[in-house]
Amino acid sequence: MKLTITEKIIKDHIVTGELKKGTEIGLRIDQTLTQDSTGTMAYLQFEAMGIDKVKTKKSVAYIDHNMLQAGPENADDHLYIQTVAKKHGIYFSRPGNGICHQVHLERFGVPGDTLLGSDSHTPTCGGIGMLAIGAGGLDVAVAMAGGEYFITMPYIVKVELRGKLNPGVAAKDIILEVLNRAGVKGGLNKVFEYSGDGIKYLSVPERATITNMGAELGATTSIFPSDDITYQFLKAQKREEDYNELIADEGAVYDEEIVIDLEKLEPMVACPHSPDNVVPVSTLNDIKVNQVAIGSCTNSSYMDLMKVAEILDGKTVAEDISLVISPGSKQVLNMLAENGALSKLIAAGARILECGCGPCIGMGQAPSTDGVSLRTFNRNFKGRSGTTSADVYLVSPEVAAVSAITGYITNPIDHITSFNIEVPKEFKINDNLIVAPIKDGSDIDIIRGPNIQPFPKSDALGEEVMGKVLIKVGDDITTDHIMPSNAKLLPYRSNIPYLADYCFVPCDPEFPKRAKENGGGIIIGGFNYGQGSSREHAALAPLYLGIRVVIAKSFARIHKQNLINNGILPLVFENERDFDCIDLLDELVVEKASHQIEGNKVTIKNRTKKEEYSLLLDITERQRDMLVAGGLLNLMKS
């Protein structure tokens, strides 16, 4: 049998199930990563399992999201993560060492291995041929405890890249073109596997830009071959012993194919307020810019920032522009400082932020009221920047740097003929901000600040599940809508009771109060409900408020699993027109719930309108057991 890269890795890691598309499979996980925004909850859940040491080959805890310390909350979380990591055999990447995905690519990723991360952009490491998947914190905790990770055996999309990019056109433009074609819902239960003669011209960081932003497709993951380009990158990182060649078999069969002629590709931009609202930069004229932000796990590599430095060399940022730059790792920042590129950035007027997620996660640098912000990031959901009225455009570093000089969204092709930059043959290696685990952590005391609260737990499924409709929302509701992420709320990621008071506030400020007054209830949503981040808090905060059922036209992959993990029923309208029949505060009830969910259809009664609706429950037997038990932890304990 001729196998794709994806199928080869799955075949080597499959524990339960078979290589049959659309069926559930369980995978052995080699590595895990967490970050401080989702990690606190993941480690609280891991502790609840009573496991002394992680069972993976390597697990790494990163501090990169909650870096502003306006109060003790973030620092307390960091101290908790550091001590729990030391006690349980987990590597700890200290604040300042860099963004989890950038550092993992540099220092830990291994071609052919599996990686599960409590961050939706974990597929970044697909750039070196890892099967890297984003998941909720509980799934990562289970993997650290030695349990398998369950996914639907994915359909595999071959993305054939032909030719070579022209000067001024970037890897970011490739993934924007894929998003333009497939959309934010086009990757559900799919892996995007890149091939073609064009990949030999793409460095590992460029490949990682593409796999990183592939998360916005809703895909399971994206992956490149592990080839000579991969070997040279690992060798430059002094990790050549981690190299494994990994390419698809000649004649491997794919479920879909996309062909992109790189020589015809031009600079692209994702317009507000979705990553798939993509147009060529050349079609945008006279759009004045207020802010430019360069960085994030998508575009903060050494090569990205070297190109920015070359564009800005000898220039000055336009007087109405605020330019901020976040290097992706300490390694990148060190190298820029030593070769003089950092001086060029500063001289041009750039403000250098610390090595972290920063503005991408809403941690500072919110644009002005009604401002236009150009960002090299991966998401531009409304309000995610911290300013609800701002318009955020997603672009390549080349577009961002040129536009910072002109003050307007500008096509870099008119300003760039070539770059005089080479991929380093040797990166600067200094892992002094990575704390290795110790052999015996039994004497380590875990330090818990007062902001760290127990996570909410669900009860076993009752015979009758009922409640009023507490909110009704439309299509493409993101986890940012459900559980907002900004500089004011991020410090409370380990305090669900506090966060719950802000649940759904961007959609309806009265939702938390309504949920408490009614003792919980039901959420109604449209297509692609729960897209975006892997944050489990978008399930935990509703659970705390008494939500046991979410009915939508369709669900995003990670959020659906997070709901099931926490004992919340994810039901889908069989007849989409029934969505229009349900109103706010209608009383709905699922009778004989434990019996009904044995099948793939559930009938729910609208007692207010004296109507019934047929709903689909697309789950596996394992997930059904979870829902009956009231969530994954309850099932494990039973």
Q: Return the amino acid letter for 26.
A: G
**Per-residue pLDDT reduced to its tens digit, 90-145:** 999 999 999 999 999 999 999 999 999 999 999 999 999 999 999 999 999 999 99
Integer-rounded Cα Rg, in Å, for the chain is 24
Over 90: is that where the pLDDT of 255 sits?
yes
- Identify the pLDDT of residue 6: 98
Identify the band that residue 555 occupies on the pLDDT scale cut at 50, 70 and 90: very high
Task: Report the C-alpha gap between 109 and 489 in whole angstroms.
Answer: 31
**Per-residue pLDDT reduced to its tens digit, 351-386:** 999 999 999 988 899 999 999 999 999 999 999 999
Task: Report the C-alpha gap between 3 and 253 in whole angstroms.
Answer: 7
The larger pLDDT score, comparing residue 512 to residue 534, is at 512
Mean pLDDT of the region 626-631: 95
| CA atoms lying within 13 Å on the CB side of residue 476 | 15
- Identify the pLDDT of residue 7: 98
Residues recorded for the chain: 638
**Per-residue pLDDT reduced to its tens digit, 289-321:** 999 999 999 999 999 999 999 999 999 999 999
Contact 487, 74 (CB under 8 A): no
Query: What order do you get walking across the sheet with 131-134 strand by strand?
Result: 131-134, 114-117, 31-35, 58-62, 91-93, 434-435
Contact 381, 478 (CB under 8 A): yes
Contact 321, 236 (CB under 8 A): no
DSSP β-ladder status, 268-270 and 278-280: antiparallel
- Identify the pLDDT of residue 69: 87
- Identify the pLDDT of residue 44: 95
Contact 491, 498 (CB under 8 A): no
Task: Residue 592: count other Cβ atoms within 10 Å of its Cβ.
Answer: 13
Residue 241 bridge partners (DSSP): none
Residue 589 bridge partners (DSSP): 466, 605
Task: Report the C-alpha gap between 276 and 177 in whole angstroms.
Answer: 9
For the record, the structure tokens of 491 come out as: 């410090």
Q: What's the predicted TM-score (pTM) here? A: 0.95
Task: Indicate the helix (H) or strand (E) that contains 280.
Answer: strand 278-280
Over 90: is that where the pLDDT of 418 sits?
no
For the record, the structure tokens of 452 come out as: 């760290």
CB under 8 Å to 71, separation ≥6 — which residues?
A: 491
Contact 170, 213 (CB under 8 A): no
Q: What is the CA angle 617-156-208, rounded to 5? A: 110
C-alpha distances in Å from residue 306, one per residue of 140, 180, 341, 345, 514? 35, 28, 7, 9, 51
CB under 8 Å to 404, separation ≥6 — which residues?
A: 289, 292, 312, 317, 318, 321, 323, 350, 374
The larger pLDDT score, comparing residue 402 to residue 423, is at 402
Helix axes 100-107, 330-339, angle to 10 degrees: 80
* Residue (of 327, 354, 329, 353) closest to 341 by Cα position: 327
- Identify the pLDDT of residue 637: 81
- Identify the pLDDT of residue 278: 98
Lowest mean pLDDT among 478-492, 502-516, 540-554: 478-492
**SS3 state of residue 590:** strand
CB under 8 Å to 372, separation ≥6 — which residues?
A: 287, 288, 289, 290, 291, 390, 391, 393
Task: Report the C-alpha gap between 385 and 359 in whole angstroms.
Answer: 7
Task: Report the C-alpha gap between 248 and 325 in whole angstroms.
Answer: 37
Mean pLDDT (the chain, rounded): 96
> What domains appear along the chain, each with residue ranges and CATH number?
5-264 (3.30.499.10), 276-413 (3.30.499.10), 464-637 (3.20.19.10)
The phi, psi pair for 477, rounded to 5°, reads -70, 125
- Identify the pLDDT of residue 485: 83
Over 80: is that where the pLDDT of 527 sits?
yes
Identify the band that residue 420 occupies on the pLDDT scale cut at 50, 70 and 90: confident
b/e burial code for range 412-447 (CB count within 10 A of at least 16 → b): bbebbeeeeeebbeebbeeeebbbebeeebeeeebe
Q: Please give the share of the chain, as a percent, with pLDDT higher than 70.
A: 100
- Identify the pLDDT of residue 606: 98
Task: Report the C-alpha gap between 16 and 519 in whole angstroms.
Answer: 39
Identify the band that residue 413 occupies on the pLDDT scale cut at 50, 70 and 90: very high
Over 90: is that where the pLDDT of 523 sits?
yes
- Identify the pLDDT of residue 211: 98
How buried is residue 460: exposed, middle or buried, by Cβ count under 10 Å (0-12/13-18/19+)?
middle
**Per-residue pLDDT reduced to its tens digit, 10-59:** 999 999 999 999 999 999 999 999 999 999 999 999 999 999 999 999 99
Contact 178, 277 (CB under 8 A): no
Over 80: is that where the pLDDT of 638 sits?
no
- Identify the pLDDT of residue 534: 85
* Residue (of 534, 532, 486, 502) closest to 68 by Cα position: 486
- Identify the pLDDT of residue 285: 86
- Identify the pLDDT of residue 580: 97
**Per-residue pLDDT reduced to its tens digit, 172-194:** 999 999 999 999 999 999 999 99
Q: Please give the share of the chain, as a percent, with pLDDT higher than 90.
A: 93
Task: Report the C-alpha gap between 243 and 611 in whole angstroms.
Answer: 60
- Identify the pLDDT of residue 299: 97
